[in-house]
Amino acid sequence: MKQNSVAIVTGASQGIGRSTAIRLATDFSAVILVARNGDALKEVADAVRAAGAEPLNIVLDLSKVESPETVVKTTLDRYGRVDALLNIAGAVPQIDLFEMTDEQWYAGMELKLHGARRLTIRAWDALKANKGSVVFMSGSAALDPKPGFAAVAATNAAIIAMAKAFAEQGIEDGVQVNSMVPGAVMTGRRKSFLEKWAPAHHMSVEEATKKFPEEAGISRYGQPEEIAELLAFMVSPAAKWMTGTSVRMDGGEVKGI
């Protein structure tokens, strides 16, 4: 896939997005890095370049309605094509269901759900022209909702359903669409969660970091590089017949079928 192939990765400045962008540099000739943190993107761009692809940084906020147009237009003006879109950007507040305001509820959805929706629609014609691939990032809370993760669960469940709808259209248009459901991955966001989780459970952060996998029923945390490897497969030629699927990688955290 390497020659004249272009992947767009949102949320590319940190965590799973960062690792995915670097991993895709092995398979794509250009990787478009989209995030709000321009300084962090510069470091990722260096890593992408070192891994063998040309990076292009686009610094903006995908919760803004006009941002998808900028991303796609900038990409097409530079490279003339889009072969893969990985919608990884977005975090939803982990606030108790009974304490969350309407503003907090909708703010999380605006970036992770609606930002990804708008970007995919805007990129669709380019993806259709190249029989491209789309992956939406969900999360295990969608399959195991808890009161403190209500907005997280609702947003992630909506992403899985939305990906299904895009996939149905993709069958007609030749665009492969799937969603990916990671579990407890050790990212900066996970560390921030543990810093809040620890005092609520009367532990130090160090104790909480060791305790959480046991509470979640898993042997260890996942690593961003592990998720990136799966995402790279999902947009590779080897996975082209896989569409309309939600793929889970969570160390066994979700116990249901």
Residue 167 dihedral angles phi and psi, to the nearest 5°: -65, -40
- Which of the pair, 194 or 53, is modelled with greater confidence? 53
Please check whether residue 72 is in contact with residue 126, taking contact to mean a CB–CB distance below 8 angstroms.
Answer: yes
pLDDT at 1: 60
CA dihedral 252, 243, 85, 112 (to 10 degrees): -50
Q: What gap in Å lies between CA 114 and CA 223, rounded to an integer?
A: 27
More confident residue, 190 or 15: 15
pLDDT digits 0-9 by tens, 83-127: 999 999 987 777 888 888 888 888 878 999 999 999 999 999 999
Q: What is the CATH number of domain 6-184+223-249?
A: 3.40.50.720
pLDDT in tens, 159-214: 999 999 999 999 999 999 999 999 989 888 888 878 887 888 888 988 888 888 88
* Model pTM score: 0.94
Query: Cα dihedral sign for 82, 30, 226, 139?
Result: negative
For residue 126, which of 162, 77, 163 has the smallest C-alpha distance? 77
Q: 67-81, 165-179, 243-257: which has the minimum mean pLDDT? A: 243-257
Mode of pairing for the β-strands spanning 54-59 and 84-87: unpaired
pLDDT digits over 139-153, tens only? 988 998 888 788 889
Q: Which residue has the higher pLDDT, 9 or 194?
A: 9
Q: Residues of CATH 3.40.50.720 domain(s) within the chain?
A: 6-184+223-249
Q: What is the pLDDT of residue 106?
A: 86
pLDDT of res. 162: 98
pLDDT digits 0-9 by tens, 224-249 = 999 999 999 999 999 999 999 999 99
For residues 214-230, give the mean pLDDT: 94
